[in-house]
Amino acid sequence: MGGALRLVLGDQLSPGLSALEGLDPARDLVLLMEVQEECTHVPHHPQKIALILAAMRHFSAELSARGIRVEHIRLDDPENTHSFAGEVARATRRHSPARIIATHPGEWRVLQAMQGWEVALGVPVEIRPDGRFLCGLDDFQRWAAGRKALRMEFFYREMRRATGLLMEGAEPAGGAWNFDAENRKRLPDDVHPPAPPRFAPDAVTQEVMALVAARFGDHFGSLEGFNWPVTREQAVVALAAFMRQRLPRFGDYQDAMAEGEATLFHSLLSTSLNLGLLLPGEVCAAAEAEWRAGRAPLNAVEGFIRQILGWREYVRGLYWLKMPGYRDLNALEAQRALPEFYWTGQSGMRCMDAAIGQTRDLAYAHHIQRLMVTGNFALLAGVHPDAVNEWYLAVYADAFEWVELPNTHGMAIHADGGVMASKPYAASGAYINRMGDHCGRCRFDVKAATGPSACPFNYLYWDFIARHAERFAPNPRMAMPLSTLRRMAPAKLQAMRGQAADFLDRHAPLP
Ligand code: FAD
Ligand code: DLZ
């Protein structure tokens, strides 16, 4: 063929992708590959697999409609070797390209593989930077160089200055960088979040869903509630609906949890962002425009923009700065297997079962559920980081390692020993009770720390603090719980620790 073989992976579905820059429609070929290895290296939720394959098929069709030559390898192609390496090798044999052009992938495992292709295939392989982020990896490295602590808040301020988002000259809009103090409200009974828009699966998506049901029906998760945008057009509808209907109250209820309200005022835009159907810059600009037009308050808009301009860019920079070692960190020496109820949603704890149940039904849980419910439980129980990483990577439709790993190892379970957070996000039942209404209807008593009806988060919390008391002693941010621990009656502590051990033994993983 003489031209270039240009690769587009399942989370690179952006027309402006660097691998497509300079494409010559007469000579070049774009390759998309549906492969079993990517669907099963962890048992991805069926909705996640369906989302990615459906979005890939729609993207291929859009490129073809623009006159671009596309080869789309389908999962049920009998010749499919079912790995990226195998499919790139097969395409190279078929087309003899002069070179292969790829965009930097979102996972260390895939980058390692790509870096071996030039030698293995005898064809030059160019891996271009992924320009869809607001902070390049070199810029992040420069920001991180020589800093003792890599705190998100300082990175975020730099990003505000660099992009000019929510800035009034050199000053942050509204006179402060962060309005989180206003963003910790419970959801009142008379506030009902509007339902997100529906995206009925078209024939392409329905065909993919049938394929996924047949091949991956044994994976955790239901396909029935599938409602993810699979095209840029649908993602733009989702973005507009969020801006109009939910952004104004995003800040107020950002940390809230409520029975029967799976999505609250959250945007549900992470899948579209992570697949490349939307770009972070356009999403932040749209939110800023809502504030400047007086349609959304600053606490909501700043809180939302911080998640994308701050957290999302920061975790990506951190992932590539710290990999591959980051994945193996286990600062708290956690060794336990994942309790079986992460797969059944039957722990008896209402907050856990709500988070896990909606994860099964929607491949979605919002941030506080991921961090302060399932993540907090794994932290307190001392679940091994590999098991936590695998669960989060598998069960959420938006999970790709560059964003999932720092959030689990760094934020949720403190496996990185404080690279991301200056103290573990450990909490007892009181936090969950303050932020939501699960506890009032739970069979466990959130006010009790011992006895058969005690909330497991309470005794697990104190077992955790006691287990790590020596390790946490030098950390001034842990002074308060450690001082309470020291004043605690030994018999009470012993009872709580005994109950923690019993509870975890009762919920050992399925063999
Ligand atoms: P919103 O609450 O509406 O937030 C807006 C956007 O901000 C999101 O779409 C997302 O792109 C971005 N964002 C918000 N918080 C974060 C964050 N901490 N890190 C990076 N981006 C953020 N997010 C993923 O995209 N993929 C993951 O695999 C993932 N795993 C997580 C695991 C744990 C343990 C925790 C605590 C968080 C994880 N997050 C992950 C971050 C966050 O929970 C999700 O981005 C968010 O819940 C997605 O829902 P939303 O689009 O409605 O978000
Ligand atoms: C997650 C995923 C799945 C389930 N399937 C595919 C696929 O068949 N083809 C593909 O190109 N990408 C898939 N992906 C996304 C990849 O795993 C992702 O591109 C890499 O992990 C790099 O982020």
pLDDT for 352 equals 98
pLDDT (tens digit, 0 to 9) for every residue of the chain, 511 residues total? Answer: 789 999 999 999 999 999 999 999 999 999 999 999 999 999 999 999 999 999 999 999 999 999 999 999 999 999 999 999 999 999 999 999 999 999 999 999 999 999 999 999 999 999 999 999 999 999 999 999 989 899 999 999 999 999 999 999 999 999 999 999 999 999 999 999 999 999 999 999 999 999 999 999 999 999 999 999 999 999 999 999 999 999 999 999 999 999 999 999 999 999 999 999 999 999 999 999 999 999 999 999 999 999 999 999 999 999 999 999 999 999 999 999 999 999 999 999 999 999 999 999 999 999 999 999 999 999 999 999 999 999 999 999 999 999 999 999 999 999 999 999 999 999 999 999 999 999 999 999 999 999 999 999 999 999 999 999 999 999 999 999 999 999 999 999 999 999 999 999 999 886 5
Closest atom of ligand 1 relative to the 411 alpha carbon: 36
- Residue 128 phi, psi dihedral angles, 5° rounding: -90, 150
Per-residue pLDDT tens for 204-250?
999 999 999 999 999 999 999 999 999 999 999 999 999 999 999 99
CA of 126 to the centre of ligand 2 (A): 19
Taking CA atoms only, the protein residue closest to ligand 1 atom 30 is 404
pLDDT for 2 equals 86
Closest atom of ligand 1 relative to the 263 alpha carbon: 52
**Three-state SS for 7?**
strand
pLDDT for 362 equals 98
d(CA 57, CA 44): 19
Cβ atoms < 10 Å from Cβ of 324: 10
CA of 130 to the centre of ligand 1 (A): 20
% of the chain exceeding 70 in pLDDT: 100
Taking CA atoms only, the protein residue closest to ligand 2 atom 14 is 10
Q: What is the mean pLDDT of the chain?
A: 97
Residue 150: which residues within 8 A CB-CB, separation 6 or more? Answer: 144, 318, 321, 419, 420
Domains of the chain: 4-128 (3.40.50.620), 137-194+246-322 (1.25.40.80), 341-506 (1.10.579.10)
Per-residue pLDDT tens for 78-104?
999 999 999 999 999 999 999 999 999
CA of 187 to the centre of ligand 1 (A): 20
What is the number of the ligand closest to the CA of 33? Answer: 2
CA of 405 to the centre of ligand 2 (A): 16
Instruction: Please return the burial class of 480, using the count of CB atoms within 10 Å of its CB with bins 0-12, 13-18 and 19+.
Output: exposed
Q: What is the amino acid identity at position 246?
A: R
CA of 456 to the centre of ligand 1 (A): 26
For residues 30 and 63, is the Cβ–Cβ distance under 8 A? yes
Closest atom of ligand 1 relative to the 304 alpha carbon: 5
Closest atom of ligand 2 relative to the 11 alpha carbon: 19
Q: Where is 101: in which H helix or E strand? A: strand 99-103
pLDDT for 511 equals 59
pLDDT for 510 equals 62
Q: What is the amino acid identity at position 127?
A: I
Cβ atoms < 10 Å from Cβ of 78: 5
What is the number of the ligand closest to the CA of 270? Answer: 1
d(CA 240, CA 236): 6
Closest atom of ligand 2 relative to the 48 alpha carbon: 4
What is the number of the ligand closest to the CA of 54? Answer: 2
d(CA 342, CA 220): 10
CA of 39 to the centre of ligand 2 (A): 7
Per-residue pLDDT tens for 392-441?
999 999 999 999 999 999 999 999 999 999 999 999 999 999 999 999 99
pLDDT for 367 equals 98
d(CA 250, CA 266): 6
Per-residue pLDDT tens for 130-139?
999 999 999 9
- Residue 504 phi, psi dihedral angles, 5° rounding: -70, -35
d(CA 7, CA 1): 15
pLDDT for 1 equals 74
CB of 11 within 6 A of ligand 2: the answer is yes
Bond into 481 cis (ω within 30): no
CA of 47 to the centre of ligand 2 (A): 13
